Structures are given as C-alpha cells and as structure tokens.
Amino acid sequence: MLISCNKLKSHIKNSEDIDWLNIWNTFTIRTAEVEGVKKVGDQIDNIVIAEIVECVEHPDSDHMHILKVNCGESEPIQVVCGAPNVRVGLKTAYVKVGGHIDGIEIKARPLRGVLSNGMCCSGRELGISDNHDGILEFPSDAPVGTNVKDYLPIDDIIVEIDNKSLTNRPDLWGHYGIAREIAAITDHELLPLDLIEIPNDKKDLEITIKDPNLCYRYTGLKVDNLKNNKTPLDMQIFLYYVGMRSISLFVDLTNYLMLELGQPMHAFDSRVVKKIEVGLASDGDTYTTLDGVERKLTKDNLMIKNGDKYFGIAGVMGGLDSEILSDTDSIFLESANFNAGSIRKTAVALGLRTEASARYEKSLDPNMTIIAIKRLVYLLKKENPDLVFGSNLTDVYPTKLEEGHITLHKNILDIYMGRTLSDEVVTNMLEKLGFKIKTNKDAYEVTVPTFRATKDVKIEQDLIEEIARMYGLENFEAKPLKLDLTIAEHETIYNQEYEVKNLLATKYDMHEVNSYIWYDTETLKKLGIEKNGVKLLGKSENNILRDDLSFSLMNIVDLNFKNYHKFNIFEIATIIENNENKRVLSIILADDEKNIETIYMQAKSIVKYLFKMLKNKSVTFTNNVNEKSYYDTSLGKVINVDNTKLGEINVLSKVVTNKLAKKKVIVCIDIDFDKYVRIIPTQKLATEVSKYPTVELDYTIIMPNNTKYDTLKQVLSDFKSNLIKSYSLVGTYENKYTIRYILGSNTKTLEQKDLTNFKDRFIEHIKNNNLSIIE
C-alpha cells in the first residue's frame, strides 16, 4: 500500500517536527514493514504558474503555437508549445529557462526556427499525473508567478508498506490510521477529521439487509444539486501518487475516503437507484461487473440489489449498469460493512481481488461507515457549496459493535515483558493508540476502540503486543533461559538420519539430494509408467504423491546422466504408502551397464556395512518377487535384519533404463527408515583372542553350471568343526569359488595331523554334496 506523507501531515499537529524520511525505520520496528520510501517532486524545479497572453500559430508547424506567457515578470516571455489546449487566458505550468523537468535542465532553444524560452508542461511531464493530452490547466484564480510547488502538494514522500504485514490491522488500511500510529510513535497529537453533520429532516432511503450475519451495516445518503464533478488538482495529485487514476469528483471522492479512512464507498447515479437490498445471489445467475467481465454467481455471493436487479457484488465490485453518468447532478452514497470471511470467499471464488475486498477481508470497523459519509460530504461541499441532501442519512445497523473490554493483569504483563513497567508508562502508551484505561491494584481495565476491536485486539496478550512494540523492541535485553539440568529426552530419528547421511557421504563419496514429494509427470511419461496414489487437488501435473522413493528420483538420475557416466546419490525422505507417511532411505548407484556386477555387489556391501557399523546387525538377502513392473524381476533382493524385512535392493529394468539412457544400469536401495530407527543395536561384547597361532587354508570348489553361490553357502554352513575360527569367500573365477578357512585352537598350537584330519573331512563333505574340489 502506498502512503503519502503530505496526507499524513494534514492529520497530525505540529507535523513539521517529524523527520518524514527517517521515521519509517522506526515505523517498521514499531508497526509494520516498510518496503520503500521515495521522494517525489524533487526532479522538477523553477516551475511557476503562468498565463497565456498571446497565442499565434507557428509558421513552420501544423500543430505548434508561439505563445507569450506572463509569469509575473515585467515582460511576457516567448514560448513555443505543441499542446492542443493552448489558448489566451489559460493558466498553466511554465518551466523557466534553467529549470528542471525529470531532472533535465530546460534551456532556451529554437523550435523550427522560433526561440522558445522554457516550456509549458503537462501533468505527466511534471510527474503528477499520467495525463499528456495537453498542458496543465490551473483554475482561473491561480496566482500568476507562484511556484507550482507552493500552489500544489508536488513535493512529497511516498512510502510503500507491505500489505502482508497489515493483515491483522484493519485500522491501518487508510492514511488516518497510519497517521494515528505515527502520532503515537512520535508523541504528537492526531487531529480530528472535519465532518459535516447531516440533518434528519428528509425521508429515509429504502434499504433492507436480508442477511444481517453477512452485512453488518449499510449507510446510505442521497445528495442533490451537484454542479461540479471536477476533482481539484491537489486531490488528483494525491490519488496519482498513491497509485489511483483520477476519474471524476464523485468517483474520486469515494476512492479518497477509502484511502483516507480505509472505508470502501460507492457512489451510484441516483436516477437509477430504486430500493436497495443486500442479500445472497442465486446459483447459476450471471452478473457483469464494472470491468465488463460477466461473472457466474453462486448462492454464497453476497450482492447489492436494486429493485429486483443485481446492482453490485457486495464489498468487491460494482456493476456496469451502476456507473455514474457524467450528466448526473445527484448521487446515492453507499458506505457499508460486510462479513470479512464472506467477502474473502466471494473474491477468491470469482478471482476478483479489489482494493475494496482487500480491506473488507480484514474486518473493518462498522462504526466507520457513518463517519466516512459525513467526511465525504464535507469534501464534496467544498467543491459544490450549493449541494442539498436528498434523503436522511439512512443507517441500517442491526447489531451494533461495541467497544471491547479487556482486563490486563499486571503479573502477566510482567512475565511477558521480563520487567515491570510503571502504570504511567503503560497508560500513556495505550492511550496514544486510542485505548481507554483504568488502573487498579493488580490489573488494568482497558477499553478497546471499535477500530481495533473487530478482531485484532481480543485478549490481554494483544494488549501486551501493543505495549511491547510501543516500548520498543530494541529496548529489550536478551536474557538466557534459566538453566534446567534435566537431560532432554531425545527422539533419535533426526540424529540417526544425520549419522547415515554422513556415513554415505564420507565412506562412499555419495551425494545427498533433495527432491519433491510428488512424481515428476514428465519423467513418468518418458518412462511409460503410470502411478496412482494420493493426489494434490487442483493440479494436473506433478500431482501424484510418491510411493517409491528411489523411483521418484529418476528425474534426478536422468539429469545427472547428462554430466556423469557414473554417480551415486541418496536421500532420506517421506513417501506416502497406504495413505500413511513413511520415511525411506534411498541410495541409487548408476553406472555403465558393463559394471552391473560391481555396483550390484557394492549395493549389497553398502547395506551390510550400514547395519554392521550403525546397528551391529548382520543382514541376510532373500530373493524378492517385486510387483513393481519397472524393476528387474530376477535381481530384486529383500534386505532382512533379525528376520524382518527392512528394505529392498532393485535393479531398474532394462526396458525402463534404456528410456533414460542407453547401456546404463541403475541399482536402487530402499530402506524403511521408520523400522531402521526402531532397531536397537545389538550389544557389543569383547571376544577372547587365542594366544596360539592360527592357520589359513584356501580351498577352491568347482560348482556345477547353473548353480549359484547360495548352494555352496548352504553346504559350507553345514560343515562343522571346532577348529574353524571363521571362513569366507575370497574369490571366484568362472565356476570356481575360493574359500578361506582360518583354523585354530584356544588350547594348543595345531599340529599337522589336525590339519590333515580337517582337510580329509572337508573334502569328503564337499564330495558328499556332489561338488568337486581342486585338491
């Protein structure tokens, strides 16, 4: 929202004492965030009001004129001007030679051979409007020779306040509310508004509120005998500076009041107003708003109706047929208050967020409607001294909003503030903001003005906020929490996640990625896979929540294949499985197809290492019958720990892999991290080491074709001997498997006959199992 400092100054007594450029840093830390402070008008100077006293056509131009202008100096000055509205007697803005426009110096120079000493300029050239149709036209009583900056409020400071930070402050959606804050912050006096009292000697207007829960108040007034619909220049400049277009006095005044008080208003052409009714629309009806768009209505949309016809969408926008025509001399003023939630819903549903709806959504003070009308009439009368009232000030206000009452306990205030403030300080700060306060021994009885009582200030903590910010957040002293020596009870999931991530990044040089919780639609299409699952509402792409973490990372795999021929990535993240959140660790190994065995084995050893090092658990792998079509059916493994399934290793099927990249292999590990976290590591115990030497024996066993190591593993585990310290597979070549036995005894050094005996038994065991051994 844009704020004009000139306007604020008019509401504050002795406002010249305030540093208007720098006050906004304080405003930001006291009230709301200021996004920008900009001086305007400082790019022009040496511009005075001048009267055209002579006007002849330029001999070498079809549109330029040679003017003589009187700018208060002894002799008229010759100026060449191309504007169409030049005429003798017109008072306009004249830039003297050496003056500036938009920061550029104006010099005396010939235009098509005729010397122009300075220039006459348009509103746009002065930076005070976007009108460039002709040069500025001052009223006939404008004093010639006066600097325009003394005549019009051109020098100003325009401040942009972040709308979001005003969400909870309905009172700050107009200049008057901002002025109240500035006055409070700087200890100045806020001036009352000039209003006009309206006599109640005419007839009431016909106004009905059908839904008092949705329309809290509707105030109307008919004003007649309006001859002048021209907006004074200073008001035009104000409107322009704060981002609004000047249209006509009647329309501009309603906007002006909205910008001043925050109260949206509407001026209808009285000739078309019959009787006003506020009520809900019917489903399926349509209505064309002021912007010419036909809107589809529902029974949730609150409407202003005129007679039997829709006349405007309440609190959002008027209709095309309610527009004021230029020939009217009578207007019907509407100043109303609506339910914030209803306005918001309608504005969102219609996709029509207007200045009015933005304000109504914040829960405006209904007591403002009548002040706004009295204020508007005051301003209207300045331009139309002969106006007459065509009706009573008709006010339909079914449920009056009263001031709020809150008890603020001193002990609670002390706890929040971390200090005790004197009654005087508290009283002073609240009163400056418009609260009334009565001090008791243990508490303050605070009366909340209605402009703060609609929703913002409801409980004593709201008052503490007011006191704390006016006291100054920078005046607080950071204080440590009092030490509590109880050991904090820790959930271990975060630590365990970090531990695993750190291990994968350091031992295996893997890269942690972050991804999205939904499948990438484009990648699914590319791979020809359809996924069903929980869906995001209102989205047609990237809208299916993932149920397989590794597979959801395939867009990342795809991206990295463009730069790397092999890489390893991992992530611990959430998937949605059977409508439940589930944490999963995914590790993806991607490499050239020829390295499939290497990375497959690596995947298995990563899993074994992880569980060995972090949980002291051994892992067994069993074959996995995977129902997911995009994984290879023969290479899937289930990861088992303590006879429980902890996860899977899968190889992306060749068909799907080929769609990502040719001659590549992608191995995916998925570990159920919720289960992982719950595994209690096996207690480690010291093992005794024999003082007698051990002996290594290697045996190479030849396996029949079409058998796998699994078979041999079973045979080996069946062979028992108390000499065996350990044995392991140390190498393979074609169908030959070399097994290394470590033999030893805790009671003696092994002799040759022990070894021979072992060897004979082992060879026999192997042969009995129909395997052969290289002796």
> Scanning residues 353 to 412, which ones bind other proteins (CB under 8 A)?
361-362
Question: Terminus-to-terminus CA distance in the chain, angstroms?
Answer: 92
Q: Which of residues 158-197 bind other proteins (CB under 8 A)?
A: 164-165, 167-169
Q: Which of residues 544-563 bind other proteins (CB under 8 A)?
A: 545, 553, 555-556, 559-560, 563
> With binding defined as CB under 8 A, does residue 89 bind other proteins?
no
CA 748 – CA 47 distance, rounded (Å): 114
Give the residue with the Cβ less far from other proteins, 327 or 491.
491
- For β-strands 443-448 and 436-439, DSSP reports them as antiparallel
Residue among 771, 655, 650 at smallest CA distance from 716: 771
Among 504, 651, 669, 716, binds other proteins (CB under 8 A): 504
In terms of DSSP H, where are the helices of 155-244? 175-186, 233-241
Give the residue with the Cβ less far from other proteins, 34 or 128.
34
Task: Identify which range of 215-223, 316-324, 502-510, 680-688 contacts other proteins by CB under 8 A.
Answer: 502-510
Give the residue with the Cβ less far from other proteins, 120 or 470.
470
In the complex, least distance from residue 478 CB atom to other proteins, rounded to whole angstroms: 4
Give the residue with the Cβ less far from other proteins, 74 or 578.
578
Q: Are 614 and 499 in contact (CB under 8 A)?
A: yes
- For β-strands 695-702 and 772-774, DSSP reports them as antiparallel
Among 341, 398, 681, 704, binds other proteins (CB under 8 A): 341
Give the residue with the Cβ less far from other proteins, 511 or 617.
511
Q: Which of residues 14-73 bind other proteins (CB under 8 A)?
A: 28-33, 35-36
In the complex, least distance from residue 342 CB atom to other proteins, rounded to whole angstroms: 9
> With binding defined as CB under 8 A, does residue 9 bind other proteins?
no
Show the site string, 446-475: x = touches other proteins by CB under 8 A, - = not. -------------x-xx-xx--xx---xx-
CA 557 – CA 571 distance, rounded (Å): 12
Give the residue with the Cβ less far from other proteins, 362 or 375.
362
Task: Identify which range of 372-380, 416-424, 696-704, 762-770 contacts other proteins by CB under 8 A.
Answer: 416-424
Length of the chain as a residue count: 775
CA 273 – CA 575 distance, rounded (Å): 60
> With binding defined as CB under 8 A, does residue 417 bind other proteins?
yes
CA 60 – CA 275 distance, rounded (Å): 61
Task: Identify which range of 81-89, 538-546, 610-618, 689-697 contacts other proteins by CB under 8 A.
Answer: 538-546
* Type and span of the H or E element at 432: helix 423-432
Q: Which two tokens stand for residue 293?
A: 């768009």
In the complex, least distance from residue 162 CB atom to other proteins, rounded to whole angstroms: 9
Task: For 471-531, give the secondary structure using H, E and C.
Answer: HCHHHCCCCCCCCCCCCCCCCCHHHHHHHHHHHHHHHCCCEECCCCCECCHHHHHHHCCCC
Residues near 259 by Cβ (< 8 Å), separated by ≥ 6? 7, 174, 175, 238, 239, 242, 244
Task: Identify which range of 100-108, 495-503, 524-532, 633-641 contacts other proteins by CB under 8 A.
Answer: 495-503
CA 667 – CA 636 distance, rounded (Å): 10
CA 393 – CA 217 distance, rounded (Å): 13
> With binding defined as CB under 8 A, does residue 442 bind other proteins?
no
In the complex, least distance from residue 392 CB atom to other proteins, rounded to whole angstroms: 35
Among 74, 326, 422, 506, binds other proteins (CB under 8 A): 506
Residue among 359, 25, 380 at smallest CA distance from 182: 25
Q: Which two tokens stand for residue 118?
A: 């300075």
Give the residue with the Cβ less far from other proteins, 574 or 700.
574
Task: Identify which range of 111-119, 210-218, 276-284, 414-422 contacts other proteins by CB under 8 A.
Answer: 414-422
> With binding defined as CB under 8 A, does residue 605 bind other proteins?
no
In the complex, least distance from residue 507 CB atom to other proteins, rounded to whole angstroms: 8
Give the residue with the Cβ less far from other proteins, 502 or 726.
502
